[in-house]
């Protein structure tokens, strides 16, 4: 290449290195001749100044990048004098004579290297053959060893199986003998025991009539429950009737106990009669359900009363009020 091409390549390489260095580590370019850089605060955040500091206004101006001129080609200064020498063909050396020893050395070295390579290839071939033979022999030996190991393992497993089979056979024979002996002993021992056991179980009640047991466990409890419920209903009805009768009688007794008015004292007397039919009905119902002593008491004569017509009317009103109160309750 020409010197200009070499110089241009060097300049391009240098510019590429500078560009790469600038990208890797950005920094402020050098100032132009006759100027200098000044530190200026360019932070994004403000700082709080607590003390009064002297402030001075300063301005700076940064020019655009100047294009650097191309570096001139270096041409060394010419020194000395120009001298020329004329050499004719064949004056310095004879090519055929001078080249002969060089050719002999080259040919000898080439042949020697070729022979070495051939010998090396033959030796490698023999080594590979030895390796293949050794690998085949080793594989055969390994296969034989594996076969012998498998055969020995099969013999051992067969021996263990035969031992286990023989032990199991002896164990079964022993168990069979013991079972036969136990069965004969049990038959001999239970010949007289079974009848007595059945007799004791029958006496203890383990053997029972299912119909009788069903009646005792199912029918009788249900019957008793129904009877008890019926009796409770009757007792409840009697209690309620007694309470009603007691309430009516108490109200009428209170009415009879009140003093008659002076206008009603001279009223004509009416025929004596029963004041209410409810006590008699109650007495009859109680006589039907109570013992004989209560029946005798109900058969005794009731003392006759001779209330006036006004008192009878008042008692009827009280009776109607009492029944209404009972109905509302």
The set of residues, in sequence order, having a beta carbon less than 8 Å from that of 282 and lying 6+ positions away, is: 241, 242, 245
3 state DSSP class of 274: coil
Between vectors from CA 22 to CA 20 and to CA 23, what angle results, nearest 5°?
65
Least confident of 11-25, 137-151, 216-230: 11-25
**Structure token digits, residue 195:** 């009848």
What pLDDT is attached to residue 46? Answer: 65
Percent of the chain with pLDDT over 90: 33
Read off the pLDDT of each residue in 276-292 and give the average, rounded to a whole number.
41
Task: Give the C-alpha distances (Å, rounded to integers) separating 133 from 125, 192, 235, 324.
Answer: 12, 89, 120, 132
Asked whether 252 and 319 are in contact (CB, 8 A), the reply is yes
What percent of the chain lies above the pLDDT cut of 70? 73
Kindly report the average pLDDT of the chain as a whole number: 77
> Against a cut of 0.75, is the pTM above it?
no
Q: Which residues, other chains included, contact 18 with Cβ-Cβ below 8 Å and sequence gap of 6+?
A: none
- Distance (Å, whole) CA 133 – CA 140: 11
* Residue 255 clears pLDDT 70, i.e. is over it: yes
C-alpha to C-alpha distance for 225 and 238, rounded to whole angstroms: 20
Among 100-104, 108-112, 165-169, 190-194, name the one with the lowest average pLDDT.
190-194
Tokens for 189, please give them.
């021992």
Please check the confidence at residue 155 and state whether its pLDDT lies above 80. Answer: yes
Q: How many CB atoms lie within 10 A of CB 242?
A: 13
Contact 269, 308 (CB under 8 A): yes
Structure-derived torsion over alpha carbons of residues 260, 265, 269, 273, reported in degrees to the nearest 10: 10
| Higher pLDDT, residue 107 or 324 | 107
Query: Which pLDDT band holds residue 196 (cuts at 50, 70, 90)?
Result: confident
pLDDT of amino acid 202? 77
Give the model's pLDDT for residue 74.
Answer: 86
Q: pLDDT of 304-319, one tens digit each?
A: 444 444 444 454 555 5
Residue bearing the bigger pLDDT, 79 or 327: 79
pLDDT tens for each residue of 161-184: 999 999 999 999 999 999 999 999
- 67-81: per-residue pLDDT in tens? 777 888 888 888 888
Axis crossing angle, helix 220-257 with helix 309-328, rounded to the nearest 10: 140
């Amino acid at each position: 290449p020409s010197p200009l091409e070499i110089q241009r390549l060097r300049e391009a390489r240098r510019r590429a290195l500078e560009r790469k260095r600038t990208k890797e580590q950005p920094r402020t370019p050098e100032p132009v001749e006759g100027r200098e850089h000044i530190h200026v605060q360019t932070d994004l955040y403000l700082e709080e100044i607590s003390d009064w500091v002297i402030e001075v206004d300063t301005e700076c101006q940064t020019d655009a990048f100047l294009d650097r001129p191309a570096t001139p080609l270096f041409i060394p200064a010419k020194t000395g004098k120009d001298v020329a020498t004329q050499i004719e063909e064949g004056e310095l050396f004879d090519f055929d004579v001078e080249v002969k020893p060089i050719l002999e050395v080259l040919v000898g070295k080439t042949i020697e290297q070729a022979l070495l390579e051939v010998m090396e290839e033959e030796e490698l071939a023999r080594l590979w053959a030895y390796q293949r033979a050794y690998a085949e022999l080793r594989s055969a030996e390994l296969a034989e060893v594996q076969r012998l190991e498998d055969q020995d393992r099969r013999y051992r497993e067969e021996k263990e199986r035969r031992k286990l089979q023989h032990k199991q056979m002896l164990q079964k024979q022993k168990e069979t003998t013991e079972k036969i002996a136990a069965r004969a002993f049990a038959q001999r021992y239970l010949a007289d025991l079974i009848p007595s056991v059945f007799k004791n179980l029958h006496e203890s009640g383990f053997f029972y009539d299912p119909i009788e047991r069903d009646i005792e466990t199912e029918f009788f409890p249900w019957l008793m429950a129904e009877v008890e419920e019926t009796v409770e209903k009757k007792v409840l009805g009697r209690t309620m009737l007694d309470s009603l009768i007691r309430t009516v009688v108490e109200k009428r007794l209170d009415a009879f106990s009140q003093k008659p008015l002076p206008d009603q004292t001279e009223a004509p007397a009416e025929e004596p009669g029963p004041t209410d039919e409810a006590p008699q009905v109650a007495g009859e119902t109680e006589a039907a359900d109570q013992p004989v002593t209560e029946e005798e008491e109900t058969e005794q004569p009731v003392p006759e009363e001779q209330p006036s017509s006004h008192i009878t009317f008042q008692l009827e009103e009280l009776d109607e009020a009492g029944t209404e109160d009972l109905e509302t309750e």
